[in-house]
C-alpha cells in the first residue's frame, strides 16, 4: 500500500491548506488491470476541526474491503475571517470538489473505477458531503470550479449521523451558524436535493444527543420525494460520533457498539446492489 498526502489548492479563507491523504493499494500480478472503487472521507468535527477518529481508521476499514481510500482534511472555521463576516462555505465545498477532481485525474494510475467514486461523511462532514452531492450538479458551482458537472459528481454517498438542517438543533448558536453560511440551501441540505442527487446510505442513532436524528429523517424524506435511492438505518441507541463503533475508533467504551458497527457491512452490501 502507498500513502501520500497532497496539498489542495489554497482557498481565500484562513491560513489552513486543505489536504487529501491517499491510501492506495497496488494490484497483485494475478489481478493486473483491476479497477477499484474509491471513497473520499469527510470527517466530522463541527467545522471546527477534522476528527482523526473519523479519518484514517475509516480509510483503512474501507481499504480492507477493496477500496482506494482518501481522507479530506478540509478548510474549517477561522475566527478572524468570521469576525469579518466571511462565511466558511463555500470554501470547504471547493476543497471537496478539488478532492473529487484529484481522484478523477489520477484514476488510471491509481487503478480507480471512475464510475464508483463514493463520499463518506460524518456529522459536520456529513453535512459537507450532502450539500456537495447536490450542488456538484448545479451549473453555477461547476462554472465556479471551471469544470463540467460530470467531472465533479460522485456515484453515491454514505452519511453517518449527519448534520443536514441547521434548524434541527446543531449548531445551537446562531452566531456560529451565521459564520458557517448565509446561504439558505447550505443551511438546509434537504432543500438542495434533486433527481441528480446520488444514491444515499444514511445512518444515525435514535438517541443521539448532539446531532438530532431529525436531521436524517428530513433528508430521507427529501430523497424519497424525488425518487433517489436511499437506504436508511436508525439504530435504537448510541452516542454521537461513533465512527466505526469499534475498538479501532473508540475513545472510550461508549464509542464501541457491536450493533451499530454493522453499518459498514450494510453500507457495502447496499453499494454492491447499485
Q: Over pLDDT 70: what percentage of the chain?
A: 100
Burial-class residue 126 by CB neighbours within 10 Å (0-12, 13-18, 19+).
buried
pLDDT at 165: 98
Collapsed DSSP state (helix, strand, coil) of residue 73: strand
Burial-class residue 18 by CB neighbours within 10 Å (0-12, 13-18, 19+).
buried
Which residues have C-beta within 8 Å of that of residue 94, sequence separation ≥ 6? 9, 11, 144, 145
Fold of the CATH domain 2-273: Rossmann fold (3.40.50)
The mean pLDDT value for 122-142 works out to 95
Q: How confident is the model at residue 240 (pLDDT cuts 50, 70, 90)?
A: very high
The mean pLDDT value for 137-153 works out to 88
> What stretches of the chain adopt beta strand conformation (E)?
2-7, 19-24, 36-42, 68-73, 112-122, 156-160, 199-205, 230-235
Q: Strands 36-42 and 112-122, how do they pair?
A: parallel
Peptide bond before residue 122 is cis, with ω within 30 degrees of 0: no
| 58: alpha, beta or left? (left if phi > 0; alpha if psi -120 to 50) | alpha
Q: Over pLDDT 90: what percentage of the chain?
A: 89
pLDDT at 148: 73
Nearest-CA neighbor of 127 among 30, 248, 52, 46? 46
Assess whether pLDDT exceeds 90 at residue 147. Answer: no
Distances from the Cα of 271 to the Cα of 46, 73, 181, 229, 264, angstroms: 27, 24, 32, 11, 10
Tens-digit pLDDT profile for residues 19-73:
999 999 998 888 888 999 999 999 999 999 999 999 999 999 999 999 999 999 9
Q: Which residues pair with 36 in a beta bridge?
A: 112
pLDDT at 250: 82
CB 38 within 8 A of CB 104: no
The mean pLDDT value for 108-120 works out to 97
CB 131 within 8 A of CB 93: yes
Collapsed DSSP state (helix, strand, coil) of residue 111: coil
pLDDT at 129: 98
Assess whether pLDDT exceeds 90 at residue 219. Answer: yes
CB 109 within 8 A of CB 34: no
Q: At what angle do helices 91-105 and 124-135 cross, to 10 degrees?
A: 70
Burial-class residue 143 by CB neighbours within 10 Å (0-12, 13-18, 19+).
exposed
Assess whether pLDDT exceeds 80 at residue 149. Answer: no
Tens-digit pLDDT profile for residues 80-95:
999 999 999 999 999 9
Mean pLDDT of the chain: 96
| 241: alpha, beta or left? (left if phi > 0; alpha if psi -120 to 50) | left
Tens-digit pLDDT profile for residues 165-195:
999 999 999 999 999 999 999 999 999 999 9
**What b-and-e string marks burial along 93-124, b requiring 16 or more CB atoms within 10 Å of the CB?**
bbbbbbbbbbbbebbeebbbeeebbbbbbbbb
pLDDT at 139: 86
> Could you count the other beta carbons within 10 Å of the beta carbon of residue 73?
22
Assess whether pLDDT exceeds 80 at residue 122. Answer: yes
Amino acid at each position: 500500500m502507498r500513502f501520500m498526502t497532497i496539498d489542495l489548492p489554497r482557498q481565500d479563507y484562513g491560513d489552513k491548506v486543505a489536504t487529501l491523504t491517499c491510501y492506495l493499494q497496488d494490484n497483485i500480478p494475478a489481478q493486473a488491470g483491476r479497477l477499484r472503487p474509491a471513497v473520499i472521507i469527510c470527517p466530522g468535527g463541527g467545522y471546527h476541526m477534522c476528527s482523526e477518529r473519523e479519518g484514517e481508521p475509516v480509510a483503512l476499514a474501507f481499504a480492507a474491503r477493496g477500496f482506494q481510500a482518501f481522507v479530506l482534511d478540509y478548510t474549517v472555521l477561522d475566527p478572524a475571517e468570521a469576525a469579518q463576516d466571511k462565511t466558511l462555505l463555500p470554501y470547504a465545498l471547493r476543497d471537496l470538489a478539488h478532492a473529487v477532481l484529484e481522484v478523477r485525474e489520477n484514476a488510471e494510475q491509481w487503478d480507480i473505477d471512475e464510475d464508483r467514486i463514493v463520499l463518506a461523511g460524518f456529522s459536520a462532514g456529513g453535512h459537507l458531503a450532502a450539500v456537495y452531492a447536490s450542488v456538484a450538479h448545479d451549473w453555477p458551482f461547476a462554472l465556479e470550479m471551471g469544470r463540467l458537472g460530470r467531472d465533479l459528481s460522485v456515484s453515491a454517498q454514505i452519511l453517518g449521523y449527519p448534520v443536514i438542517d441547521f434548524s434541527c438543533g446543531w449548531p445551537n448558536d446562531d452566531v456560529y451558524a451565521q459564520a458557517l453560511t448565509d446561504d439558505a440551501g447550505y443551511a438546509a441540505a434537504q432543500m438542495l436535493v434533486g433527481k441528480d442527487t446520488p444514491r444515499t446510505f444514511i445512518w444515525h442513532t435514535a438517541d443521539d444527543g448532539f446531532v438530532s436524528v431529525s436531521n436524517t429523517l428530513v433528508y430521507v424524506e427529501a430523497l424519497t420525494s424525488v425518487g433517489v435511492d436511499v437506504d436508511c438505518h436508525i439504530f435504537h441507541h448510541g452516542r454521537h460520533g461513533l465512527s466505526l463503533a469499534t475498538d479501532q475508533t473508540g475513545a472510550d467504551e461508549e464509542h464501541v457498539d457491536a450493533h451499530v458497527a454493522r453499518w459498514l457491512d450494510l453500507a457495502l452490501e447496499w453499494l454492491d446492489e447499485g
